[in-house]
Amino acid sequence: MNNAQTSEPQSKIRSLEHRALSLRRHVLRMAERVGQGYVGQGLGIADLLAVLYFDEMKYDAKNLKWSDRDRFVLSIGHYSIGLYAALAEAGVIEIDELDTYGADESRLEMSGSEITPGFEMTGGSLGHGLGQAVGMALGLRLDKRQARIFTLLSDGELQEGATWEAAMAAAHYSLDGLFAFIDCNNQQADGPPARVLNVEPVHQKWEAFGWDTQRIDGNNIGALVDAIDRAKTVNGKPHAIVLDTLMGKGVRAFEQREKNHFIRVDASEWSALREQLESGMTPSGDERIS
Ligand SMILES: Cc1ncc(C[n+]2csc(CCOP(=O)(O)OP(=O)(O)O)c2C)c(N)n1
């Protein structure tokens, strides 16, 4: 499906695409300052974060402890560069603070933690996010609150046993206010999951664990909005939205690299990378974003 086929108004899709581009600009800016980072993840997940933070989630950037806020639970601490970009764009942190990414004493560590405003958990040790998200969803239910939990896992995290224990619990307790996005970028630190420890078929696994499951192009804003809208119509089950994404999305040199888990770039190369981002196409390939 391309963005032209979504039932959503094109103006809304357009505006979210612009947000995603802004997030990608922030990601490059952060990594350029320090010369390295988890750039591929930040670029790959920008579309989801744009949709969540600028269309779907209820939150108050000035009152982060508001009890009825929807929670975004980032299980994969190393993807923080993407979340920092979204939090800056949303007004939770100052845009200038992004320049401290990865620096000593910074609140924006390469693997993010609760010291950063807007972070619900510390996620550097993989495999714990879904369990925490399930606990939060159960707590909200006990408190009779309508707030929802959106959590992001990676394909590498599907190799962690605790993920499946939490998945089983979420279905058992019919947590329909829980939305898990699984970023299938087909890479992990040591190569593609199929070579390290195969995680496929991902869709069927979540379905078998009792989740309402969809699998979509995670770099397509229209598909993301439609999938979330569809998930919201399903009661009594937690929702898994499996995202096929491209690491480094928007910057051709990264998109074409075989290994993007951690990227180091020479100071002289950044301007060409920025240029690639600025000359990029929309996911539907039909119009330039400017
Ligand atoms: C429990 C745990 N085991 C191992 C690691 C080391 N580690 C950090 S990132 C990573 C790869 C995880 O896979 P994925 O998130 O899919 O990788 P990416 O898409 O970011 O390349 C690993 C093994 C860790 N942080 N925590």
- Which residue ranges form the domains of the chain, and what is each CATH number? 8-278 (3.40.50.970)
pLDDT of 5 reads: 65
Taking the CA atoms of residue 40, residue 30, residue 51 and residue 114 in that order, the dihedral angle to the nearest 10 degrees is 100
Cα–Cα distance between 180 and 149 in angstroms, integer? 8
| Closest CA to ligand 1's atom 9 | 189
What pLDDT digit, counting tens, does each position of 217-272 carry? 999 999 999 999 999 999 999 999 999 999 999 999 999 999 999 999 999 999 99
Model pLDDT, residue 180: 99
User: For residue 220, which amino acid is it?
Assistant: N
- The minimum-distance atom of ligand 1 relative to the CA of 193 is 16
Tell me: the pLDDT tens digits for 129-181? 999 999 999 999 999 999 999 999 999 999 999 999 999 999 999 999 999 99
Residues 6+ apart with CB under 8 A from 278: none
Kindly list the protein residues whose Cβ atom lies closer than 6 A to any atom of ligand 1. 41, 76, 78, 124-127, 154-156, 185, 187-189, 261
Given the structure tokens 């390290």, which residue do they identify? 196
Residue whose CA is at the smallest distance from ligand 1 atom 12: 156
Q: Which of 125, 157, 261 to mutate to test the pocket of ligand 1 (most atoms within 8 A of CB)?
A: 261
Q: Could you tell me the distance, in angstroms and rounded to a whole number, from the CA of residue 189 to the centre of ligand 1?
A: 6
- What distance in angstroms lies between residue 142's CA and the mean position of ligand 1's atoms? 33
More confident residue, 112 or 7: 112
Distance separating alpha carbons of residues 128 and 166, to the nearest angstrom: 9
Query: What tens digit of pLDDT does each residue of 73-119 get?
Result: 999 999 999 999 999 999 999 999 999 999 999 999 999 999 999 99
Q: For the segment 183-203, what is each residue's pLDDT rounded down to a tens digit? A: 999 999 999 999 999 999 999
**Which of 45, 78, 125, 249 to mutate for ligand 1's pocket (most ligand atoms within 8 Å of CB)?**
78
